[in-house]
Amino acid sequence: MKPELLTLDITAMAHGGNGIGRHEGRAVFVPFTVPGDQIRARITQDKGRFATAEMVELLRPAPSRTAPRCRHFARCGGCHWQHIDYAAQLDLKQQIVRDTLGRIGGLRDALVHRTLAAPDPWEYRAHVTLRPSPQGRPGFVAVDGRQVIALDECPIMQPALLEQLSHLTPLRERTRVQVGSVGEPIHFPLGSDDDTTSSTSSGRQAVEYDIKGRAFRCSPGCFFQVNPAQAARLVELVLARLTLSGGARVLDLYAGVGLFSAFLAEQGSLVTAVEAFAPAVEDARHNLRDLRQVELHVGVIEAVLPELTRGYAAAVVDPPRAGMDASALQALIAHAPSQIIYVSCDPATLARDARKLVEAGYVLVDAQPVDMFPQTYHIETVAHFRR
């Protein structure tokens, strides 16, 4: 017997990129839909209290629905929202941050500003991780999480990256391709499924990014924001929220190659930067070599912070998508900085950690979503906490 077809009105968007409709009182999550769509859908997974479905027919399109630019869209897993008008994408990201802070963080009255748009919602990606298709062509993992879709086009890659695709055939292993401000791409194999532990067999080969007039070397395996134009915006947002006197001591946690440390130090702060990935600390030493008021520590935050005895006026934290390790967050709270600027790439883990900070005596001043990843559901947020 064929599965029953449901008629659904999509009324909201979930973090993760799926539209939400309701059937017989339970939520039904449907990818590639838009709030305002009316669709006919088929249940693909029945989870009891909720279900997932696929759209079979679009009965009435939402006003914000638009034609995707890329012919791989809805098969390739690189983008999720090319079918949504860009202004609507910004509104949805603000709504998701607000809803997630309320639902997970208990912060139902949080001040969440409108999402800051990217200067260009296309051709922004400065690095990509590619996988070989069965024919050896470079591609992205498909939406099913198993196949690899060979790419002939990608409208969110910077043109210099896209041009590299023809030079990577045949591709034999998972490969990172990066392009810096000088426009010369590099590519190197990844040794595992964790980008932060990538092979550095290419030696000191690195790219360089120009952010607000400063050069940042980034070696293979080191993290740098995928959208350099919006990385500069993050720096501005962080600095604008800190009220520091000259010589104030500031923690920079998950410091990477020194992006925030550089500009904090230029403003006169005494910066203690902590980063666990040793090659990134090497790059930070290079990038901050003209700034004497920065000290660098290699190690995980929960091990380094208890060894630091100085008082800190503020902390800037930029953790990975998993958020702060619970012991790292407790170590930060024990230092009791007056201000914490939390740069998040996942609203759910931001909300989880925000709840713990509020329980420890902090107040969320505001949250500013930044569209680091146009055409996708990913959201960067700068959250300001004050003790």
- Active-site positions read 345
Are the C-beta atoms of residues 19 and 30 closer than 8 Å to each other? yes
* Residue 333 CA, distance from chain mean position: 24
Structure tokens at 112: 């969440």
Rg (CA), the chain: 22
3-state secondary structure 128-174: EEEEECCCCCEEEEECCCCCEEECCCCCCECHHHHHHHHHHCCCCCC
Q: Which bin fits 192, alpha (ψ -120 to 50), beta or left (φ > 0)?
A: beta
C-beta atoms surrounding 75 within 10 Å? 14
Residue 6: C-alpha distances to residues 33, 36, 140 (Å): 14, 16, 31
What's the rounded Cα separation, in Å, for the pair 291 and 285? 10
**Which residues neighbour 182 within 8 Å (Cβ) at sequence distance 6 or greater?**
207, 208
Query: Is the peptide bond prior to 279 cis by the omega test (within 30 degrees of 0)?
Result: no
Quick one: which H or E segment has residue 57? strand 50-60
What's the rounded Cα separation, in Å, for the pair 110 and 15? 17
Structure tokens at 154: 């990608």
- Give CA torsion, residues 45, 49, 54, 58, to 10 deg: 160
